Structures are given as C-alpha cells and as structure tokens.
C-alpha cells in the first residue's frame, strides 16, 4: 500500500492511539484516581508497544514487498538478483525497497539495507540522476556510472499515480577512469621558446662570449626538459621547439614558469643586459600539429606583450605568466622601413584614409593621428582623423591645428561623419591601441575593409586580428615616436608643418613623462627629427597647461593618497568634467613620492550612460601595472595602464585593486 492510502493509514493509526487516551480520561469522572492511573498505564504500555511495532513494520513492509510474487516474475527476479553489477530499487523518497546480491557485496555489506535512505549509503542526488539518467559517483575507492530507470503505477479507477519505483544500476568504471587519467597525464603538448631581442642582445658582443652565453642557454633548456621527461630541439639561433607531457606541463603552470624564466634571467650578457625568453604553449589541441599552431599564436602574443613571459593557449583563451622585465630596446629600424613601404602601397590603392585612436584620445593618440594625417595630405591623399571632440583629452592639439592650418577644420570628422565617407576602398589606420574594445568607433572599424594599426602598448587578448599590415613595438616609448619614424620613410611632397611636429612631440613628452620614462635612443632620434621640422618645445609645453582649479583638484587628490604595499593609491568619488586630466597628472606626481613603486588613481565617471570607476595606473617599471590592470579587466603598458570597472563604488573598486596588487606581488615573490 503506497501513496495517499498509505499516508491515510498512518494518520488513522496515530489518531486511534490519541482517541484511546481521550476516552480513558473522559470515562473516569466517577472513578477514583488510582483506577484512572492504572488504566492510563495499561493504555500507555499498549500504545507504546503499538508504535514500536508500527515503526518496525514500515521497514519490514519493504522487505515483504520485495518477496511478493506479484511484483516480479520468479525468473526475472532471480536474474536481476544474481546480476553481476549492483542494482537497487528505491521509492519516491529514495528509500531502498529491493537490492540484488552484487549491491550487498560491493556497495553495502554491513547490514540489511531495506528501508534505508539511499543517500545515507551513497552521496547521490536522486533528482539529478533521474533527469540525466547517467551520473558518475565515487564510492570508497571506486568510481561508478549510475543509470536510472523510473516506472510509475497508476490507480485503475482514478488513473492517479499511487507508486513510483526507480531502478538504479551501478556500472564499475574505475578501470576506465584510471585509463583516461593516465591518457590525460601522458598527452603531449608543444612548447615554443624564443630568446627575446636576439640581435639587439648580442650586438657588439664578442663571438667567444656569444658562444659561451648561448651554450649556457642550451644547457639550461636541455636540463629543464630532462627533468620534465620532454624533448627539446634548437630549430634556429634564437628558437627552441619542445614536446612535453601533461603532468610536467601542469607543474610548470603551477610554478608560473619561474623555473625557466628566472633561471634564464640569471644569464647575463653584460653589466646592463641579461637574457630573457618568451614561451608559447599550445594546450588542448586535438593533434600535435594543432598544438604547434596554438603554440605559435601564444608565442606571438608574448612577443606582442614585451617578452620575458609565458603564454598558454587553450581554445580561444590565453593565460599569461611572468612579464616583469622592461625588455631591450630595438635599435634597428628595418621593420619600420618595411612597414612604411607596405603602407604606401595600400595608400595608393585607397580612395581615402581615416586615422582613428582610442576612446578619450590623449595627446599621444592625437599626436600620432595628426602626424600621419599631415604626412598623407602632403602626398595628395584625402586623409581624415576620426575623433569625438566631446570625449577627448587632446583638445589643446585639436584647437591649435584648427586655428593654424588651412585644412584644420576639414581634417577632423566625428564618428558619425566618418561612417558616411567610408567605402570599400577606404584605408583605416588605428594608432595608439591594438584593443578592439578601446577603439574610438567600433562601428567604423567593423565597416572598414582594410585596416592597419600602429601601437606601442602590449598586446591584449581581444586585439585587432584582421590588420593587413601592422607596426607593433612594445619597446617604443609612444605611438607618436613610431609615427615620426614612419614619416621619415614616406615620399612627402614638401616639408611637414611644424604644427604637426608639435603634436607628435607632445605625444612623446606625455608618454615619456618629459623624456624620463621608457626613453631610448630612438626616442631622442625621433625628437631630433621633429625639432628639425620646427617643433617648438615652449609651445608644446603650453599644451600641458592646466587651469588653476584643476591644479587645486590635483593637489587635493594627491593629498588624499594612501600607501599600500609600496603603491600610492588616491581616489576621487565626485563627478567632474576635468577628472581624467588631473587624475592622470596626480598619478604621475605620486610616483615622485619616496618609497612608491607604482601609483593608482581611482575616480567615478559615466561611460555611455553607465556608472563606472576608472583606474589610472603608473610606475617606473618596478611593478608591471599592465598585469595588475589586466586582473581588473583593463590593460595598457608595463609603466602606464588603466582599467574600467562598471556598476561598483569607488571603495569597492579600491578593495578589488588591493586584491589585485596582493595577487601580483604574491606571484612575483
């Protein structure tokens, strides 16, 4: 008896016991108290005995049901009982009403299992098991695949469900699981290792010293692979190809590749330079060929991010490790010359050219765009700059070009107007960013058929991937420096205006902090070229001038800073139109505080109608602020980065920043 009838039977039984007590008390109005207590004692004893027998019967009932001939045919019952795999039948509540011999021997051999809740024996979710049919569980030292078959019994009169029984069948898959785990541990993956800036690293180094250094590198790589039970081959003077199993690769990942990156960094070339390598790993490919292709993509990504790090590519995702060194400046301009030649061919095939930077374009983005547009116009090309003048930090340059150049008013287009002039033969040049998410107009980028980009920031995961040609130099100080070099190889019909030179020099000065930060030989060569074009350093310095009110706000922001793990952190929780300007300046100024390796300024703002907290990050290289900002969804450069966090308060954003700093410091310690 199951369902509503069984519940009614239990309820009536309880009521009978209660009624006996009530009748005993009500019928003793004229009887002495001794007789009352005697009868109550007898009724209590009988009631307790009845309840004990009733509870025991609920367990025995399941055993009784399992032995009923009407439930199963004898042959079927014996076959299932002697079946070599464990099987059990449970009711709606998961109570065991039948089980076979294998279940009692392999799963539950300690006691009679009838009437026991299956969840007390095995950690199993009956709802999930019934829905998915097949689930995998772990019991004792084995693993089982559990299959469920549910049957319902309906009342012949009302057609309602009166019973529901579920057969659980346990298949021992322990051997298969161990075999699969062994297969996964022994899978082979491809790793590619490249010595960073090989030509620049060994420039002016004696051949005997070079041989000694390369021998140290070779021995180190071979020793690491021997410990990892992998194989490695040197495929060129600066590249290695390795094949490694899953288990030792996971050890390298858990170690964040320190055993390779740090040991290589101990090999010095001279007093100033030491060896660094970039590592690309293809993890998850179906074949070795696919893994090799993924490793190449990962290696390209590490090179685009400045080297001295490892990247593991899994499907469409990248995981990065390392990236603490500043890198070695490249003195050769071969890539710039080749890029300039390819760019000229694309320009000749185009009807017009549109140059675009990142959102909230700064002096560097605008300086690079202006320099490129001015050079192309000297060649007779219809060149324009796409800029939202309501969302830019470069108004001083824009206004100066409009006031002093004949084409000043015509050279600037809003994103809406730029979309109106774009055609299949338009060339789009993106400057000062390689991130799709940071473009001034994502619609313009998607509409362009031919895309070129020039950038000095470290490559991000969601980067521009359809560029016809690209000039990407993470070692360069600024995009303006890179454009100044490209302009030198362009066939100009005359001298470039000094106002364009001023714009590019302003961009260089912004990103180098007046030629202090990340400044190399090529930076001064570019500045000298711009000076030769007539760049006015005094006029450029005036482009950085602020109002008295902005200076006061910057001072208040600096004063509010606190020190956390050698990082200066300041915050501004009020909406302000000038906050982007004075917050960046405050971040630069905080770097001058003694004992500060990095500075972070947080401020609230509105982006596309959404509340946002923006973080400006600066450092002199002791801390890689790019990695810290990437942990918060941002990016940038090793010494200059930013992040935007939506739908969060400034205080909560600060807590997340502290967590990211702690995680970064823990990772490099």
CA angle 636, 297, 253 (to 5 degrees): 80
Looking at per-residue pLDDT, the higher value among 458 and 628 belongs to 628
Residue 153, domain member (yes or no): yes
- pLDDT at position 70 over 60: no
User: What is the percent of the chain with per-residue pLDDT over 90, rounded to a whole number?
Assistant: 34
State the Cα–Cα distance between residues 500 and 482, nearest whole angstrom.
14
Q: Is a pLDDT exceeding 60 seen at residue 485?
A: yes
pLDDT of residue 451: 95
Maximum mean pLDDT: which of 79-88, 419-428, 607-616? 419-428
Average the pLDDT over each of 129-138, 430-439, 630-639 and give the range with the smallest value: 129-138
111 lies in the same domain as 196: no
Are 579 and 477 found together in one domain?
no
One domain for residues 55 and 87: no
- Cα angle 642-311-299, degrees, rounded to a multiple of 5: 110
Neighbouring-strand partners of residue 645: 613
Q: Count up the domains in the chain and report the number.
A: 5
Q: What is the 3-state secondary structure (H, E, C) of 234-286?
A: EEECCEEEEEEEHHHHHHHHHCCCHHHHHHHHCCECCCCCECCEEEEEECCCC
**Burial bucket for residue 196 (CB in 10 Å: 0-12, 13-18, 19+):** buried
Q: Which two tokens stand for residue 238?
A: 């600066």
pLDDT for 132 equals: 66
Instruction: Judge contact between 453 and 463, C-beta under 8 A.
Output: no
**Higher per-residue confidence, 131 vs 179:** 179
Q: Which of 64-78, 321-335, 378-392, 582-596 has the highest mean pLDDT?
A: 378-392
The residue-averaged pLDDT of 34-53 equals 68
Position 414 in a domain: yes
User: For residue 233, what pLDDT band results from cuts at 50, 70 and 90?
Assistant: very high
Q: Is it the case that residue 269 has pLDDT exceeding 90?
A: no
Q: Looking at the predicted structure, is the pLDDT value of residue 272 above 80? A: no
Same domain, 427 and 491: yes
Query: What is the pLDDT at residue 25?
Result: 62
pTM given for the model? 0.66
Please, which residues bridge with residue 191 across strands?
242, 281
Q: How many helices (H) and strands (E) does the chain have?
A: 25, 23
End of a domain among 495, 513, 542? Answer: 542
Residue 540: pLDDT band with limits 50, 70, 90: very high
CATH code of the domain covering residue 660 = 3.10.310.30
How, if at all, do strands 352-356 and 134-139 pair? unpaired
Higher model confidence: residue 95 or residue 29? Answer: 95
Mean pLDDT of 371-378: 95
| 526/425 same-domain check | yes
615 belongs to a structural domain: yes
Specify the range with the lowest mean pLDDT, choosing from 141-145, 182-186, 302-306, 330-334: 330-334
| pLDDT over 50 (residue 30) | no
**Poorest-pLDDT segment among 9-18, 313-322, 351-360:** 9-18
Same domain, 393 and 531: yes
| Of 470 and 271, more confident | 470
Nearest residue to 357 via CA among 416, 442, 431: 431
Range among 155-164, 210-219, 330-339, 608-617 rated most confident: 210-219
pLDDT confidence of 224, banded at 50, 70, 90?
A: confident
The residues with which 95 forms a beta bridge, in sequence order, are 117
Structural domain boundaries enclosing 644:
548-668
Residue 2 predicted with pLDDT over 50: no
Q: Answer for the pair 358, 439: CB distance below 8 angstroms, yes or no.
A: yes
Over 80: is that where the pLDDT of 608 sits? no
Q: Which of 14, 39, 66 is the last residue of a domain?
A: 66
- Residue 13 pLDDT class (50, 70, 90 cuts): low
Q: Residue 292: inside a domain, yes or no? A: yes
Q: Is residue 329 part of a domain?
A: no
Does an H or E element contain 90, and which? strand 87-90
Residue 662's H or E segment, with its range, is: helix 650-668
Question: Across all residues in the chain, what is the average pLDDT?
Answer: 83
Question: 60 and 78: one domain?
Answer: no
Cβ atoms of 351 and 426 within 8 Å: the answer is: yes
The predicted pLDDT at position 567 comes to 93
Q: Is the pLDDT of residue 398 over 80?
A: yes
**Buried b / exposed e along 558-590 (16+ C-beta atoms within 10 A):** beebeeeeebbbbbbeeebeebbbbbbbbbbbb
Q: What's the CA gap between 428 and 344, in Å, rounded?
A: 13
Mean pLDDT over 67-80 rounds to: 58
Q: Of the residues 509, 542, 575, which one is the last residue of a structural domain?
A: 542
Average pLDDT over residues 474-479: 88
SS (H, E, C) 459-504: CCCCECCCCCEEEECCCCCCHHHHHHHHHCCCCCCCCCCHHHHHHH
328 in a structural domain: no
Are 215 and 302 part of one and the same domain? yes
568 and 497 in one domain? no
Q: In this predicted structure, what is the pLDDT of residue 15? A: 66
**Residue 74 scores a pLDDT above 90:** no
Shared domain for 457 and 580, answered yes or no, is: no
Reported as a pLDDT band with limits 50, 70 and 90, residue 199 is confident
Cβ density class 110-145: b for 16+ within 10 Å, e for less: eeebbbbebeebbebebeebeeeeebeeebeeebbe
Give the pLDDT mean for 479-507.
94
Cβ atoms of 485 and 355 within 8 Å: the answer is no
In a domain, 634, yes or no: yes
| Domain annotation covers residue 327 | no
The answer on 525 and 555 residing in a single domain is: no
What CATH number is attached to the domain comprising 110? 3.30.450.20
**CA 266 to CA 253: how far, in whole Å?**
20
Task: Clarify whether residues 558 and 519 are in a common domain.
Answer: no
Render pLDDT for 116-161 as a digit per residue (tens, 0 to 9).
888 788 877 777 776 666 777 777 767 888 888 887 766 666 666 6
pLDDT score recorded for residue 367: 95
């Amino acid at each position: 008896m199951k369902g509503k009838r069984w519940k009614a039977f239990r309820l009536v039984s309880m009521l009978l016991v209660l009624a006996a007590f009530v009748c005993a008390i009500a019928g003793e109005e004229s009887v002495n108290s001794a007789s009352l207590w005697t009868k109550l004692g007898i009724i209590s004893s009988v009631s307790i005995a009845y309840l004990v027998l009733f509870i025991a019967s609920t367990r025995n009932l399941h055993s009784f049901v399992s032995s009923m001939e009407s439930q199963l045919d004898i042959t079927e019952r014996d076959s299932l009982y002697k079946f070599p795999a464990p099987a059990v039948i449970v009711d709606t509540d998961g109570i065991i009403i039948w089980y076979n011999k294998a279940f009692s021997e392999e799963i539950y051999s300690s006691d009679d299992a009838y009437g026991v809740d299956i969840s007390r024996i095995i950690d199993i979710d009956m709802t999930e098991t019934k829905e998915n049919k097949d689930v995998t569980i772990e019991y004792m030292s084995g693993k089982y695949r559990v299959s469920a078959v549910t049957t319902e019994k309906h009342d012949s009169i009302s057609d309602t469900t009166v019973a529901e029984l579920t057969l659980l069948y346990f298949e021992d898959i322990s051997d298969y699981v161990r075999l699969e785990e062994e297969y996964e541990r022994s899978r082979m993956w491809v790793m590619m290792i490249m010595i960073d800036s090989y030509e620049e690293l060994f420039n002016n180094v004696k051949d005997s010293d070079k041989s000694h250094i390369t021998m140290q590198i070779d021995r180190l790589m071979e020793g690491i692979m021997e410990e990892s039970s992998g194989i490695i081959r040197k495929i060129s003077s600066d590249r290695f190809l390795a094949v490694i199993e899953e288990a030792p690769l996971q050890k390298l990942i858990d170690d964040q590749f320190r055993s390779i990156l740090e040991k290589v960094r101990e090999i010095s070339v001279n007093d100033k330079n030491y060896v660094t390598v970039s590592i690309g790993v293809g993890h998850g490919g179906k074949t070795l060929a696919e893994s090799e292709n993924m490793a190449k993509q990962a290696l390209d990504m590490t090179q685009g991010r400045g080297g001295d790090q490892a990247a593991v590519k899994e499907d469409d995702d990248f995981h990065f490790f390392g990236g603490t060194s500043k890198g070695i400046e490249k003195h050769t301009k071969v890539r710039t010359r080749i890029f300039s030649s390819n760019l000229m061919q694309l320009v000749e095939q185009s009807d017009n050219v549109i140059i675009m930077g990142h959102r909230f374009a700064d002096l560097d983005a605008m300086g690079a765009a202006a320099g490129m547009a001015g050079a192309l116009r000297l060649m007779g090309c219809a060149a324009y700059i796409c800029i939202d003048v309501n969302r830019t930090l470069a108004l001083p340059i824009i206004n100066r070009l409009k006031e002093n150049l004949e084409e000043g008013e015509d050279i600037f287009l809003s994103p809406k107007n730029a979309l109106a002039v774009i055609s299949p033969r338009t060339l789009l040049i993106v400057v000062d960013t390689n991130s799709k998410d940071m473009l001034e107009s994502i619609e313009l980028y998607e509409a362009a058929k031919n895309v070129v980009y020039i950038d000095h920031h470290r490559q991000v995961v969601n980067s521009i991937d359809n560029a016809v040609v690209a000039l990407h130099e993470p070692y360069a100080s600024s995009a303006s420096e890179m454009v100044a070099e490209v302009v030198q190889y362009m066939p100009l019909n005359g001298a470039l205006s000094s106002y364009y030179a001023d714009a590019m020099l302003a961009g260089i000065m912004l990103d180098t902090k007046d030629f202090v930060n990340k400044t190399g030989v090529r930076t001064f060569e570019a500045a000298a070229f711009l000076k030769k074009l007539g760049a006015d350093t005094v006029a450029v310095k005036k482009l950085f001038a602020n109002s008295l009110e902005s200076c006061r706000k910057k001072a208040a922001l600096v004063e509010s800073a606190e020190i956390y793990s050698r990082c200066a952190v300041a915050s501004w929780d009020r909406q302000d139109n000038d906050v982007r300007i004075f917050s960046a300046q405050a971040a630069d100024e905080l770097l001058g505080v003694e004992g500060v390796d990095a500075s972070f300024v947080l401020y609230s703002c509105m982006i596309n109608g959404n509340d946002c907290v923006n973080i400006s990050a600066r450092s002199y290289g002791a801390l890689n602020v790019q990695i810290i900002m990437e942990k918060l969804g941002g990016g940038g450069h090793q010494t200059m980065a930013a992040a935007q966090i939506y739908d969060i308060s400034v205080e909560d954003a600060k807590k997340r920043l502290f967590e990211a700093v702690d995680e970064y410091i823990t990772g490099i310690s």
